[in-house]
Structure 1
Amino acid sequence: MENDLSHPADGDAWKYFDNIHKDFAADARNIRLGLATDGFNPYGNMSNSYSMWPVFVVPYNLPPWACMDQSNFMLTLLIPGPSSPGKDFDVFMEPLMEELQELSKGVKSYDANSPDKFDLRAAILWCIHDYPALHTLLGRATAGYQACVRCDKENCSKKLRNKICFIGHRRWLPRYHPWRSSKEYNGATERREKPAEFTPEELKEQLDRVRHVIPGKLQKKRKCEDGQCWSRRSCLWDLTYWEDLKLRHNLDVMHIEKNICDNLIGTFMNIQGKTKDTVNSRLDLEDMGIRGDLHLQPVSADSSEMPHAWYTMSKQEKIAFCEFIKAVRFPDGYASNISKCVAADKCKLQGLKTHDCEDYDNMVWYVLRSCPEVDPYIDLCKQELNQRGGQINVDRWLAKNFARWFQTHIGKMQNDVCPDLYALACKPDFRVRLYSACFVDSVRYHTVDRKKNKKTQNSGIVSEGDHDGNSIDFFGQLKSIIRLQYNSSGGVHRSVVLFRCDWFDLGGRKPGFDDDGHFKSVNTEKFWYKNDPFLLTSQATKVFYVPDTKLKGKWQVVQIFHHRHLWSVKENEQGPGVAGLSYQDEDSSQVPVQEKEGTARSRTRSDQERVLLQKVIVDKLKK
């Protein structure tokens, strides 16, 4: 499918390599590889000073579900500690480089589908690593004034009091973007174009300057020339095809996300040692002449006040936030148990992982596409996408980008839309609330976790939906209850409550659904539609499940019922006890009748032990 990246072969880097090396691409048996490395501590928390570096080679000539399977990874090197190899990394890479150079030329191999031997070739398409490993593996500067990998020339670095900052990101914005004219960011406007990249000749010149840098940490440091972005020439440049690669390094976004998340939370909660809102940062603001309300304020001859920033939390807010985090429960395998990250004093978060904030956008998109008032704007956005031309997966684009497009579009016409629609466009608060129970139209709902300690069952859910173009009933169980808080104004409280459900798999080779004409049964062992778990409370109908004594195992019989304390009465009808003494719902459901009865061989069973009764007792009973 066009513009759908389901395998590395769909990417531009793969196609670019094939276009240059047509002889390599002509034989589908030639192997494309990825090289991944990172340092880790094998002793965990027992030792903080040990660093071991494995080097993996990953083959991509496999289906998507297999090329990233751990069983197909090849551990080619294991560089021991106790410290990072640094410039010595190339020394450890020599055995692997010899094999890669040999594979680039071709190695006689046997094909099971052909009696003839052929020259098997292999090429490294890219490396995968975190940001610091970019310097360890490839020699690219990751610290100092040339640390930005997107600024080959005219870097955006600036020296502050005790660190070097990169504050020229507005150079990548469109030329007439309003943020370019704003002085609130760093006290100046931005009119420069984005930095230019090195040409092949300039890149070769950069590498030639450090060609003679030899390994060893005791070597005398060389003084870098202005604009020099490389500290050494990596041995990977010895591969004949390396200079032709379009994407030589892939930065592991997981590490970057975690570091940013830690810094943000550390700043919001003012965690000592992790917050970026320090005295030095306040002095930097003063030096730059921006955000005067955050400058240090002198209160006496020997003291100054550091005003609390609006984004920091009070003691009570920290406790409330940590209690919220401690109460969050996600489905198994979706995210880490972030409640373990809450420290004993309930004022710190530590050890956060990467997957805990990615569900927010999915919830926002589900609310928008479930709101009829938003449908005209979705159609308008689709029209704009069609006018752009090209092969765009509209559904995927809308799921990822419509909320931002909708916010921008409604923001331009704020005075012409109703307050509810404007609040919807502004997105809900990031601080969502989770509940384990709720009432919807007087119907009680409990989550599965809450049900475990109760003798009643209130977590069964059924909802009508579309599957492969057909309308079917989706059966599941309630995992969590989520409330999104939108902007409130004019005394109007705006919030949306969502159900997060696990849907039982009704399809597959072994169908998880059975209907014998009397009862409907579902297999509760497997789930589907894991990427679409949300449901508005108005779309849910409560059911309960009982064990299926026929199919047994994980099979459960679905019981759809009418609540005894609820009536389905139209507004123009008179309910019970108003017009008359008797009331009956005319739309009563009928019990299905089996058309053909089965023929019983015998009305008695001979496989059970006989029960004997005395004749006296029998006679007495007859009288």
Structure 2
Amino acid sequence: MEVMQGHTMLVEVMQRHPILDYAKENNCPKCKASRWKDADGRRQIPEKVLRSKSKEVQWHKLKRQDVKNELSHPADGDAWKDFDNIHKDFAADARNIRLGLAADGFNPYGNMSNSYSMWPVFVVPYNLPPWACMDQSNFMLRMLIPGPSSPGKDFDVFMEPLMEELQELWKGVKSYDANSPDKFDLRAAILWCIHDYPALHTLSGRATTGYQACVRCDKENCSKKLRNKICFIGHRRWLPRYHPWRNSKEFNGASESREKPAEFTPEELKEHLDRVRDVIPGKLQKKRKREDGQCWSRRSCLWDLPYWEDLKLRHNLDVMHIEKNICDNLIGSFMNIQGKTKDTVNSRLDLEDMGIRRDLHLQLVSADSFEMQQAWYIMSKQEKIAFCEFIKAVRFPDGYASNISKCVPADKCKLQGLKTHDCHILLQRILPAGLRGTIYEDIYEVAAELGNFFRELCCKTLKRDVLDRLEKEIIGKMRNDVCPDIYALACKPDFRVRLYSACVVDNVRYHTVHRKKNIKTQNSGIVSKGDHDGNIIDFFGQLKSIIRLQYNSSGGVHRSVVLFRCVWFDLGGRKPEFDDDGHFKSVNTEKFWYKNDPFILTSQATKVFYVPDTSLKGKWQVVQKFHHSHLWSVKENEQGPGVAGLSYQEEDSSQVPVQEKEGTARSRTRSDQEHVLLEKVIVDKLKKQSKEVVPEEIEEVDQTMYKYSSDDDDDGGNRTRNRLVFEEDA
């Protein structure tokens, strides 16, 4: 509910006149202050908004449809259902609040050299519909822990006020419901925490460094000491018993016959936590040796909550942090970026110690030097330049991603300054597309499979069978209902039509082709389903013009229909103008078909964007489908906001071929690049270095690594069915 700024709906006004009497007013009835932030009110962005959530908090029980095989809200998950089965009295009242706790460190000084770590702690309510859960206005900043370093185990001290409130909320607090005449006991519970991997130690006390750092290995961990680090290379233990990779020695020089590590039973978990029950906060505490097999350094204060031990999923890792790490490592290794590549002298010596991949070992070429041959996955200088030029040529739709081309320096041989969301987009879509035709096919296949995995994992509506398939694989017609009056349609539209170069449909921006020439974003790509030879296929094209047809208006109702005039790229014909390698679809942007059928309704259009095809080159472009972060596809018992007029939603996952056998590259080195020469003295010194044992001490290390960039919604979170905003041609 929008509120006037001058008098924010005074009690006196509310008592004398219903609020709805002022719903269409643009100025305050008392002080005549404007209702809108902009003086003319053209954009209609309110000064303030009054939100009432008394009905929305019961959405998860009253309006949400439980669809078999679908996960579109936390209430569809096993953790939520398991909690309701255990605490039936809590689940009986839909007004009781389920919460998530999110915390992480960040540097408020951004790109400056100041080393500072500040920790915000957010509480997020999950009773609301998914589009409201993720709305910034519903995030509650409960505390802000100051720096300059990570709070470490002192995190529990800062959490004490919040813990007291959570304890009280679990018992119940007398509250008033605007939709009920009686007061009731409002209860709340934390269902899980959300953080990155290093922050897991801060919130839970579980070790994230050393030999016990893997949270999937409660017993018989898979850690192994190498020259200067500890590695976890026992992943084949999760493969099926007779998987061919188990017998291969190409991974670590040995076959794998062990079963996957067992998890702690509730009794064993309690025993481990009791060992560290007496650990108290403080910087003056002496470092203690961790007992053999001990995975915790302290007992977190969250265990004081009466229901915490009953939770099925206590901690969630932020997938975008994982994408950031993977993307940085892949780009750093492919482009051989100093300080970011994983292909170092020590890693080559590790291969030599393990007796695997001999063609990557250091070769003695003279009495005082070794030769380090370039690995087959490292790009040449020409390939780096081609890849960076591809990145600079990519244009995204408005609001979809930042201008990643700014991350390409003048020498065009590396990427720098990538933010977390940049890596999220790169890993899922741009990186695999850029590697096509640039790098060896087997490496491209792996990158494409990895991008597809994260793309399906990040869908707003997940399928349980798809998740099961992903777990196995990673280990191994739209219709429009137009509702004008029949009479207005029979009278035909006005012969005077209006042309536009841009419009916004359901908060999705579209531009015509000629408008995009002088801007850095791309909003003219269109895909629409249609019939071709009796089959329903995707027609890919570009938006040429936007036409508005005006029909008879009566009774204050203005009737109009908006059409998109498009050009469609030829997907058939005598010569193949369409390519699909299983990961990406490419179209020839010089060839067109269905020239006599260019018009579609706005509701039949879905926005896509195109990136250059680095494999076929020329006028070939790779089609990129995507979903909009502000649109949701969730079934409700009644029609509600956020589910109507969706432009595109990635729900169904395509079957993508997965590599079952190991790559068959002829050589792991590149003979077309100069080899790196290393002084023999340096290599000998590295070889003689003693393998230092990593002390199993409990250390509190600030591992805040990445900075965040936030995107502000320009529409203020409004979601209007079939809302159209036009920008007229000059």
TM over 0.5: yes
Q: How far apart are 1:447 and its partner, in Å?
A: 8.4
When residues 155 and 485 of structure 1 are mapped into structure 2, their CA distance, relative to the original with a 3 A threshold, is farther
1:324 aligns with 2:390: yes
When residues 344 and 21 of structure 1 are mapped into structure 2, their CA distance, relative to the original with a 3 A threshold, is same
Q: What is the match of residue 383 of structure 1?
A: none
Q: What is the match of residue 41 of structure 1?
A: 107
Once the two structures are superposed, the pairs formed by residues 132-531 of structure 1 within 5 Å of their partners are: 132-352=198-418, 353=422, 354-359=424-429, 448=513, 452=517, 465=530, 475=564, 496-497=586-587, 506-507=602-603, 529-531=647-649
Paired letter, 2:114: N
Q: How far apart are 1:113 and its partner, in Å?
A: 2.8
Paired letter, 1:529: S
Q: Is the 8 A contact 1:336 1:355 kept in 2?
A: no
Q: Provide the C-alpha distance between the structure 2 equivalents of 1:22 and 1:333, rounded to a whole number of angstroms.
A: 43
Once the two structures are superposed, the pairs formed by residues 55-204 of structure 1 within 5 Å of their partners are: 55-204=121-270
When residues 239 and 304 of structure 1 are mapped into structure 2, their CA distance, relative to the original with a 3 A threshold, is same
Q: Is the 8 A contact 1:448 1:477 kept in 2?
A: no
Q: How far apart are 1:3 and its partner, in Å?
A: 2.0
When residues 92 and 10 of structure 1 are mapped into structure 2, their CA distance, relative to the original with a 3 A threshold, is same
Gaps of 5+ in 1: 364-392, 409-445, 488-493, 509-525, 533-550, 557-623
Q: Provide the C-alpha distance between the structure 2 equivalents of 1:222 and 1:552, rounded to a whole number of angstroms.
A: 64
Q: Provide the C-alpha distance between the structure 2 equivalents of 1:329 and 1:268, rounded to a whole number of angstroms.
A: 23
When residues 396 and 507 of structure 1 are mapped into structure 2, their CA distance, relative to the original with a 3 A threshold, is farther
Q: Provide the C-alpha distance between the structure 2 equivalents of 1:241 and 1:58, rounded to a whole number of angstroms.
A: 18
2:124 alignment partner, SS class: strand
Q: Deviations over 1:142-172 (max 9, x none)?
A: 1000111111111010000000000011111
Q: Deviations over 1:216-238 (max 9, x none)?
A: 12210111101111110000000
Q: How far apart are 1:134 and its partner, in Å?
A: 0.3
Cα RMSD (Å) of the superposition?
A: 4.0
Q: How far apart are 1:362 and its partner, in Å?
A: 12
When residues 42 and 451 of structure 1 are mapped into structure 2, their CA distance, relative to the original with a 3 A threshold, is closer
Paired letter, 2:333: T
Q: Is the 8 A contact 1:153 1:197 kept in 2?
A: yes
Once the two structures are superposed, the pairs formed by residues 519-558 of structure 1 within 5 Å of their partners are: 529-531=647-649, 553-554=726-727
Q: What is the match of residue 691 of structure 2?
A: none
Aligned length: 441
1:78 alignment partner, SS class: strand
Q: Provide the C-alpha distance between the structure 2 equivalents of 1:250 and 1:190, rounded to a whole number of angstroms.
A: 29
Q: Deviations over 1:418-475 (max 9, x none)?
A: xxxxxxxxxxxxxxxxxxxxxxxxxxxx982686369xxxx79796527xx9999994
What is the TM-score normalised by the length of structure 2? 0.55
Q: How far apart are 1:323 and its partner, in Å?
A: 1.2
Q: Provide the C-alpha distance between the structure 1 equivalents of 2:194 and 2:586, rounded to a whole number of angstroms.
A: 41
Paired letter, 2:602: L
Q: Provide the C-alpha distance between the structure 2 equivalents of 1:181 and 1:28, rounded to a whole number of angstroms.
A: 53
Q: Deviations over 1:400-425 (max 9, x none)?
A: 969x98xx9xxxxxxxxxxxxxxxxx
When residues 206 and 325 of structure 1 are mapped into structure 2, their CA distance, relative to the original with a 3 A threshold, is same
1:50 alignment partner, SS class: coil
Paired letter, 1:465: G
2:327 alignment partner, SS class: helix
Once the two structures are superposed, the pairs formed by residues 602-613 of structure 1 within 5 Å of their partners are: none
When residues 267 and 65 of structure 1 are mapped into structure 2, their CA distance, relative to the original with a 3 A threshold, is same
Q: Deviations over 1:523-558 (max 9, x none)?
A: xxx9963458xxxxxxxxxxxxxxxxxx995589xx
Q: What is the match of residue 573 of structure 1?
A: none
Q: What is the match of residue 430 of structure 1?
A: none
Q: How far apart are 1:46 and its partner, in Å?
A: 2.4
Paired letter, 1:297: Q
Paired letter, 1:448: V
Q: Is the 8 A contact 2:107 2:117 kept in 1?
A: yes
Q: How far apart are 1:319 and its partner, in Å?
A: 1.2
Q: Provide the C-alpha distance between the structure 2 equivalents of 1:503 and 1:131, rounded to a whole number of angstroms.
A: 50
1:15 aligns with 2:81: yes
Q: Is the 8 A contact 2:169 2:186 kept in 1?
A: yes
When residues 452 and 81 of structure 1 are mapped into structure 2, their CA distance, relative to the original with a 3 A threshold, is same
Q: How far apart are 1:507 and its partner, in Å?
A: 3.9
**Structure with the greater relative contact order (CA < 8 A, sep ≥ 6): 1 or 2?**
2
2:224 alignment partner, SS class: strand
When residues 321 and 478 of structure 1 are mapped into structure 2, their CA distance, relative to the original with a 3 A threshold, is farther
1:273 alignment partner, SS class: coil
Q: How far apart are 1:116 and its partner, in Å?
A: 2.4
Q: Provide the C-alpha distance between the structure 2 equivalents of 1:241 and 1:308, rounded to a whole number of angstroms.
A: 55
Q: Is the 8 A contact 1:447 1:478 kept in 2?
A: no
1:76 alignment partner, SS class: strand
Paired letter, 1:355: I
Q: Provide the C-alpha distance between the structure 2 equivalents of 1:267 and 1:42, rounded to a whole number of angstroms.
A: 29
Once the two structures are aligned, what percentage of the paired residues are identical? 78
Q: Is the 8 A contact 1:32 1:60 kept in 2?
A: yes
Gaps of 5+ in 2: 1-66, 434-460, 477-510, 540-562, 572-576, 593-597, 605-630, 632-644, 651-723
When residues 505 and 8 of structure 1 are mapped into structure 2, their CA distance, relative to the original with a 3 A threshold, is farther
When residues 479 and 235 of structure 1 are mapped into structure 2, their CA distance, relative to the original with a 3 A threshold, is farther
Q: Provide the C-alpha distance between the structure 2 equivalents of 1:289 and 1:38, rounded to a whole number of angstroms.
A: 40
Q: Is the 8 A contact 2:246 2:257 kept in 1?
A: yes
Q: Provide the C-alpha distance between the structure 1 equivalents of 2:578 and 2:76, rounded to a whole number of angstroms.
A: 37
Q: What is the match of residue 635 of structure 2?
A: none
Q: Deviations over 1:549-597 (max 9, x none)?
A: xx995589xxxxxxxxxxxxxxxxxxxxxxxxxxxxxxxxxxxxxxxxx
When residues 478 and 229 of structure 1 are mapped into structure 2, their CA distance, relative to the original with a 3 A threshold, is farther
Q: Is the 8 A contact 1:322 1:348 kept in 2?
A: yes
Paired letter, 1:211: R
Q: Provide the C-alpha distance between the structure 2 equivalents of 1:398 and 1:143, rounded to a whole number of angstroms.
A: 32
When residues 236 and 460 of structure 1 are mapped into structure 2, their CA distance, relative to the original with a 3 A threshold, is closer
When residues 105 and 507 of structure 1 are mapped into structure 2, their CA distance, relative to the original with a 3 A threshold, is same
Q: Is the 8 A contact 2:409 2:416 kept in 1?
A: yes
1:154 alignment partner, SS class: coil
Q: How far apart are 1:293 and its partner, in Å?
A: 0.2
Q: Is the 8 A contact 1:447 1:480 kept in 2?
A: no
Q: Provide the C-alpha distance between the structure 2 equivalents of 1:286 and 1:472, rounded to a whole number of angstroms.
A: 51
Q: Deviations over 1:288-313 (max 9, x none)?
A: 00000000000111111011111111
Paired letter, 1:276: K
When residues 471 and 180 of structure 1 are mapped into structure 2, their CA distance, relative to the original with a 3 A threshold, is closer
What is the TM-score normalised by the length of structure 1? 0.64
When residues 115 and 154 of structure 1 are mapped into structure 2, their CA distance, relative to the original with a 3 A threshold, is same
When residues 394 and 129 of structure 1 are mapped into structure 2, their CA distance, relative to the original with a 3 A threshold, is closer
